[in-house]
Amino acid sequence: SSELTQDPAVSVALGQTVRITCQGDSLRGSFAGWYQQKPGQAPVLVMYGKNNRPSGIPARFSGSKSGNTASLTITGAQAADEADYYCNSRDSSGNQYVFGSGTKVTVL
Amino acid sequence: VQLLQSGAEVRKPAASVIVSCKAPSDTFNRFYLHWVRQAPGQGLEWMGKINPSGGGATYTEKFQGRVTMTRDTSTRTVYMELRSLTSDDTATYFCTREGLVFGGAIVPYFDYWGQGSLVIVSS
């Protein structure tokens, strides 16, 4: 299956830690990319590969993968982290890419 | 890196639309560009990719036969044409660049995104 499953929504208290997961068969052979999207804006890459943060992304974001599940962790969540988060992967042929269903993160 | 997309479009059902994305020289020559769409209130959906330097394109099965991705090397612009539009095609269409990976690992990621082009299909 080429689907990636994410929890629809999670909430986290300000300053606490939240983990967002992404599960799918394609992740057995592929690392995930993670994107943050705020209303009315284009997605922003926040994590990719084993645990790579693009320039400008705070160190409170980290990534990991085990088997068919990739995770994005926000340690010490801030109000600015409230957004939708999407994962992506691709198949081994390089010809099919897929996005997860998205997780809405609410910072309380 | 700025991917500059064309503006909003309104089309009637059964019509076609072409969305453009202009890229910097280095991006156009060395990176794959992809098209991703997002219906109102929905998630991201991958449509396909194009190699701007060579012109080859790959589409997801859902859009096979209805989408064509092309490029103009003289203007460093890629185009996404979607035909036989229905109301389900109402969405924001994004052009995005796939980042480079060195080594054998599969690490798909999109590091730069256009601003998005809204396409509204309505009678």
Q: A42, B105: Cβ pair inside 8 Å?
A: no
Neighboring chain A residues of B106 at a CB cutoff of 8 Å: 29-31, 89-90, 92, 94
Q: Going along A26-96, which residue ranges are E strands?
A: 33-37, 44-48, 61-66, 69-75, 83-90
Strands B9-11 and B67-72, how do they pair? unpaired
Mean pLDDT of chain A: 94
Alpha carbon of A88: minimum distance to chain B alpha carbons (Å)? 7
Q: For strand B117-121 and strand B9-11, is the pairing parallel, antiparallel, or unpaired?
A: parallel
Q: Letter for the amino acid at A99?
A: F
A–B CB contacts, 8 A cutoff, strictly below:
70
User: Cβ-count burial of A74 within 10 angstroms (0-12 exposed, 13-18 middle, 19+ buried)?
Assistant: buried
Would you call A57 an interface residue with chain B, using a CB distance cutoff of 8 Å?
Answer: no
Question: Residue A53 and residue A47: Cα distance in Å, rounded?
Answer: 5
Q: Is A42 on the interface with B (CB under 8 A)?
A: yes
Q: End-to-end CA distance of chain B: give it in Å, rounded.
A: 37
Q: Which amino acid does the sequence have at B82? A: L
Spatial neighbors of B21 by CB under 8 A, at least 6 apart, are B3, B4, B5, B6, B33, B77, B78, B79, B80, B95, B114
Residue B24 CB-density burial (10 A; 0-12 exposed, 13-18 middle, 19+ buried): middle
pLDDT tens sequence for chain B (123 residues): 899 999 999 999 999 999 999 999 999 999 999 999 999 999 999 999 999 999 999 999 999 899 999 999 999 999 999 999 999 999 999 999 999 887 777 889 999 999 999 999 999
Percent of all residues in chain A with a pLDDT value above 90, rounded to a whole number: 90
Residue A77 contacts by C-beta under 8 Å, 6 or more apart in sequence? A12, A13, A14, A15, A16, A17, A18, A60, A105, A107
